[in-house]
Structure 1
Amino acid sequence: MPLIWILFLILLFPFLIFVFFIQAATFSFAKLGLSPQMAVFVFSLSLIGSVINIPISRKKFIIHEEEQQFFPFLFYYPPRVQEQIIAVNIGGAVIPVILSLYLLPRAPLLPTIIATIIVTIVAKALAKPVPGVGISLPAFIPPLVAAAAAILLSPSDAAPVAYISGVLGTLIGADLLNLPHFKDLNSHAISIGGAGIFDGIFLVGVVAALLA
Structure 2
Amino acid sequence: MNKRMFIPPVALPIIVLMLFTFLLLFVLFSGIATAAFAKLGIPPAVALTLFLFSILGSFINIPIAEERAYEPVLQVKRVVFLGIPYPVPYFGWEERRVVIAVNVGGALVPLSIVIYELTRTVLLGEVRLLFNTLLAVVIAVLLSHVFARPVRGLGIAIPMLIPPLVALGLALVLGGSNPPLVAYTSGTMGVLIGADLMNLNKIKTLGASMISIGGAGTFDGIFLAGLIALLLV
1:186 aligns to 2:207 (yes or no): yes
Partner residue, 1:115: 136
In 2: Cα distance, 1:24 partner to 1:66 partner: 50
Q: Which moved more, 1:77-86 or 1:177-186?
A: 77-86
Q: In the TM superposition, what whole-angstrom CA distance separates every residue of 1:190-212 from its partner, at most 9, and x where no partner exists?
A: 00011399532222333343367
Partner residue, 2:88: none
Partner residue, 2:33: 25
Q: 2:149, 2:156 within 8 Å by CA — same for their partners in 1?
A: yes
1:58 aligns to 2:32 (yes or no): no
Q: 2:55, 2:217 within 8 Å by CA — same for their partners in 1?
A: no
Amino acid at match of 2:106: G
Partner residue, 1:130: 151
In 1: Cα distance, 2:112 partner to 2:222 partner: 13
Partner residue, 2:111: 97
Partner residue, 1:163: 184
Amino acid at match of 2:100: I
Partner residue, 2:98: 84
Partner residue, 2:50: 42
DSSP 3-state at the match of 1:156 = coil
Please identify which structure carries the higher strand content.
Answer: 2
DSSP 3-state at the match of 2:208 = coil
- Count residues in correspondence: 201
Q: 2:59, 2:217 within 8 Å by CA — same for their partners in 1?
A: no
In 2: Cα distance, 1:53 partner to 1:38 partner: 23
Query: Which structure is larger by alpha-carbon Rg, 1 or 2?
Result: 2
User: For structure 1, which runs of at least 5 residues remain unmatched after alignment?
Assistant: 1-6, 68-76
1:64 shift after superposition: 2.6
User: For structure 2, which runs of at least 5 residues remain unmatched after alignment?
Assistant: 1-13, 76-90
1:153 aligns to 2:174 (yes or no): yes
Amino acid at match of 1:186: G
In 2: Cα distance, 1:140 partner to 1:30 partner: 22
DSSP 3-state at the match of 2:211 = strand
1:129 shift after superposition: 0.7
RMSD: 3.0
Q: In the TM superposition, what whole-angstrom CA distance separates every residue of 1:118-146 from its partner, at most 9, and x where no partner exists?
A: 11122111111110111111122101111
Q: 1:158, 1:211 within 8 Å by CA — same for their partners in 2?
A: no
1:35 shift after superposition: 1.4
In 1: Cα distance, 2:67 partner to 2:218 partner: 22
Amino acid at match of 1:33: G
In 1: Cα distance, 2:226 partner to 2:217 partner: 16
DSSP 3-state at the match of 2:138 = helix
Q: Percent identity?
A: 43
Query: Which 4+ runs in 1 deviate beyond 3 A?
Result: 7-15, 195-198, 207-212
Q: In the TM superposition, what whole-angstrom CA distance separates every residue of 1:173-199 from its partner, at most 9, and x where no partner exists?
A: 110111111111100000001139953
Partner residue, 1:3: none
Amino acid at match of 1:111: N
In 2: Cα distance, 1:28 partner to 1:205 partner: 9
1:62 shift after superposition: 1.4
In 1: Cα distance, 2:218 partner to 2:15 partner: 33
In 2: Cα distance, 1:66 partner to 1:46 partner: 42
